[in-house]
Chains A and B, each alone.
Chain A
Amino acid sequence: MEALSRASGLPGRPGQDAVAAKGWLAAHKWLLLRRVSQLGILGLFLIGPWFGIWIIKGNLSSSLTLEVLPLTDPFVLLQMLAAGFAPAATALLGALIVAAFYLLVGGRVFCSWVCPVNMITDAAAWARRRCGIKSGHAPDVRTRYWLLLGVFIAAAVTGAQAWEWINPVSLAHRGLLFGMGAGLWALLALFLFDFLVASRGWCGHLCPMGAFYRLLGQTALLRVAAPARAACDDCMDCFAVCPEPQVIRPALKKAGQESPIIYSADCTTCGRCVDVCGKQVFRLTHRFDQRSSS
């Protein structure tokens, strides 16, 4: 997608039109909200160990909120089952709550609004744009599903949650809360991979956890739509910032569908396309909102 030239804005700086049209704040609204969400969730975990204010204990793999609400990552729970362990009721309940939320709201909402690795890979994508790096080779986007399969096979074969040894997502979150150790090098390697080797390589091509949440979000309600697609001036800014650029075309260009809704579960609902569009083509809405100017 980087090969597509941009019709407007400075090279590597998509969103200039939007800043001019809407002002800086409105052109960064969803990005800022997303950072507030990511850092806020991290902060809720961190004020425990830092200041002794225990609202949430644990980490993203499993946690306890206000000593009553148990939450467990369904991806971890499935690995547990694959490894041949029948978990206690608390973990089951916690995983059901989390799975129900993402099933309803949007699977990959986890990726863009919660996951701590997103900030690393966003930074890598930003640096890549600013440095004008177009080279590199991204693995096939289906690799993540093979990896997801591999995660469960590895769990079944070893009888242990093998992926959790190195899962960068839990590694990053747990590291921030309980001590990073050598995990810092793994995250640095991840950044460099996304920065130098593969555009959106980790989140968009490899991460099996993202693949899992994507499968969970097939019918999710919260969607990005392109109701004002008639106003599109083909500046390509949305393609430049989108972590999964292949999802935009069907809705924006009516490629194979009439509806303005981005149905692909690959979409992380980050809302960055809404931000950078100077023509206000996109908006965040629900799945059944079929309003469209064309």
Chain B
Amino acid sequence: MAMGVGFYANQARALHAQALRPPGALAEEQFLAACTRCGLCVRDCPYDTLKLARPGDPVPTGTPYFTARAIPCEMCEDIPCIRNCPSGALDPKLSDISDARMGLAALVDHETCLNFLGLRCDVCYRVCPAIDKAITLDSIHNTRSDRHAMLLPTVHSEHCTGCGICEKACVLPEAAIKVLPPALAQGKLGEHYRKGWEERKKHGGSLIGEQVEFPVRGLEGRAYGDTRVGDVPMPPPADELPSEGPGGASGLNSRWRP
């Protein structure tokens, strides 16, 4: 019977994706070994954020969790939930709440996020306790209207504590930004991946030296790499050259006319 319970416990181990552990919680495997299920963290939470899972909840019975969309973590500077934890399931070494990693916010729905629709909602960005660090607004061209910018909320895992205030504040009936366990929210680059532009900056120049630039047939006279077609003023036939000189066709043209 007890072994059966053990296997059941093993199956139930994966924490529900929308249930977040208190700040400083050990990794889930360790947490389930350590937590006494006493609820002292729940009692010491001044915002009633934390709950102890009841039998039937999608979280191991008796362990503390919170749901960001209901009540997010307000990131108290003195972290009272950790103070009285008897076992160390909430790590007492966490002294700066901005080092907490309760989860990771992810803008999961690009179809409904108002900023992705080209509007200026910005609410998740504005409420973020680590504004301009954990969430930034990244500007890109709005190709639909062709005359506006879209300011896309972008989460930076380096600074996001997973407090869930953004998810709570999202104005949509169902939040487009959600706090998830990092393993669900994050992709991972291949170990061998290097970002050329970063390596170049580190190195102070291209690592492979200057590249040989071959002429591209039909695009002679353009700046190297400019392969645009259409209205771009084509250089006159080679025999009529040169009146403008190369590089005369540079610059973006959205083709918008008032």
Chain A residues at the B interface, C-beta cutoff of 8 Å: 48-49, 54, 57-59, 61-64, 70, 72-73, 76-77, 80, 83-85, 87-88, 90-91, 94, 147, 149-151, 153-155, 157-166, 170-171, 174-175, 177-183, 186, 208
A94 to B38 Cα, complex, angstroms: 13
- Does B13 reach chain A (CB closer than 8 Å)? yes
One digit per residue, 1 when the CB lies within 8 angstroms of any chain A CB and 0 when it does not, for chain B 42-54 equals 1110000001101
Task: Give the total of B residues in contact with A, Cβ under 8 Å.
Answer: 40
Known A-B contacts A88-B86, A174-B62; the reply to A181 vs B55 at CB < 8 A is yes
Contacts of B1-51 to chain A: CB distance below 8 A: 1-3, 5-10, 12-13, 29-30, 32-40, 42-44, 51
A269 to B56 Cα, complex, angstroms: 35
**Are A151 and B87 in contact, with the CB atoms below 8 A?**
no
Q: Which residues of the partner chain A approach B52 to less than 8 Å between Cβ atoms? A: 174, 178-179
**Are A186 and B87 in contact, with the CB atoms below 8 A?**
no
**Are A85 and B9 in contact, with the CB atoms below 8 A?**
no
Q: Which residue of B lies closest to A79 (CB)?
A: B33
- Does B129 reach chain A (CB closer than 8 Å)? no
Q: Which residues of the partner chain B approach A70 to less than 8 Å between Cβ atoms? A: 86
**Are A171 and B61 in contact, with the CB atoms below 8 A?**
yes
- Does B60 reach chain A (CB closer than 8 Å)? yes
**Are B54 and A175 in contact, with the CB atoms below 8 A?**
yes
Known A-B contacts A61-B37, A62-B40; the reply to A181 vs B57 at CB < 8 A is yes
**Are B87 and A171 in contact, with the CB atoms below 8 A?**
no
- Does B118 reach chain A (CB closer than 8 Å)? no
**Are A171 and B55 in contact, with the CB atoms below 8 A?**
yes
**Are A208 and B60 in contact, with the CB atoms below 8 A?**
no
A48 to B38 Cα, complex, angstroms: 14
Known A-B contacts A48-B43, A91-B87; the reply to A159 vs B37 at CB < 8 A is no
Q: Which residues of the partner chain B approach A161 to less than 8 Å between Cβ atoms? A: 32-33, 35, 37
**Are A178 and B55 in contact, with the CB atoms below 8 A?**
no
**Are B87 and A154 in contact, with the CB atoms below 8 A?**
no
Since A59-B37, A157-B3 are in contact, a sample of 6 more A-B pairs with Cβ atoms closer than 8 Å, ordered by chain A residue number, is A83-B32, A85-B33, A87-B87, A158-B10, A162-B5, A174-B39
Give chain A's interface secondary structure class: helix
The 4 A-B pairs with the shortest beta carbon distances in the complex, nearest first, are A181-B54, A150-B2, A154-B6, A182-B56
**Are B33 and A80 in contact, with the CB atoms below 8 A?**
yes
A88 to B10 Cα, complex, angstroms: 24
A157 to B2 Cα, complex, angstroms: 11
Q: Which residues of the partner chain B approach A91 to less than 8 Å between Cβ atoms? A: 36, 86-88
Q: Which residues of the partner chain B approach A154 to less than 8 Å between Cβ atoms? A: 2-3, 5-6, 9
A32 to B7 Cα, complex, angstroms: 42
> Which residue among B12, B32, B38 has the maximum number of chain A CB atoms within 10 Å of its CB?
B38
A72 to B40 Cα, complex, angstroms: 12
Known A-B contacts A62-B86, A87-B87; the reply to A163 vs B2 at CB < 8 A is yes
Q: Which residue of B lies closest to A83 (CB)?
A: B33
**Shortest distance from the beta carbon of B60 to any chain A beta carbon, whole Å:** 6
**Are A87 and B39 in contact, with the CB atoms below 8 A?**
no
- Does B142 reach chain A (CB closer than 8 Å)? no
Q: Which residues of the partner chain B approach A80 to less than 8 Å between Cβ atoms? A: 33-34, 36, 87
**Are B3 and A177 in contact, with the CB atoms below 8 A?**
no
Q: Which residue of B lies closest to A48 (CB)?
A: B43
Partner of A186, one of B43, B55, B62: B55
Contacts of B57-100 to chain A: CB distance below 8 A: 57, 60-62, 84-88, 92
**Shortest distance from the beta carbon of A270 to any chain B beta carbon, whole Å:** 26
Q: Which residues of the partner chain B approach A181 to less than 8 Å between Cβ atoms? A: 54-57
> Which residue among B5, B33, B56, B92 has the maximum number of chain A CB atoms within 10 Å of its CB?
B33
Partner of B43, one of A57, A84, A170: A57
Q: Which residues of the partner chain A approach B2 to less than 8 Å between Cβ atoms? A: 147, 149-151, 153-154, 162-163, 208
Q: Which residue of A lies closest to B11 (CB)?
A: A158
Partner of A63, one of B5, B38, B44, B85: B38
Q: Which residue of B lies closest to A178 (CB)?
A: B52
> Which residue among A159, A182, A183 has the maximum number of chain B CB atoms within 10 Å of its CB?
A159
Q: Which residue of A lies closest to B36 (CB)?
A: A62
**Are A158 and B55 in contact, with the CB atoms below 8 A?**
no
Known A-B contacts A166-B5, A179-B54, A181-B54; the reply to A72 vs B36 at CB < 8 A is yes
Partner of B92, one of A54, A88, A182: A88
**Shortest distance from the beta carbon of B126 to any chain A beta carbon, whole Å:** 34
Listed by A's residue number, 30 A-B pairs whose Cβ atoms lie within 8 Å are: A57-B84, A58-B40, A61-B38, A63-B38, A64-B40, A72-B36, A72-B86, A80-B87, A88-B85, A88-B86, A90-B86, A91-B88, A147-B2, A149-B2, A151-B2, A155-B6, A158-B9, A159-B29, A160-B33, A161-B37, A162-B9, A164-B62, A165-B12, A165-B62, A171-B55, A174-B52, A180-B55, A182-B56, A183-B55, A186-B55
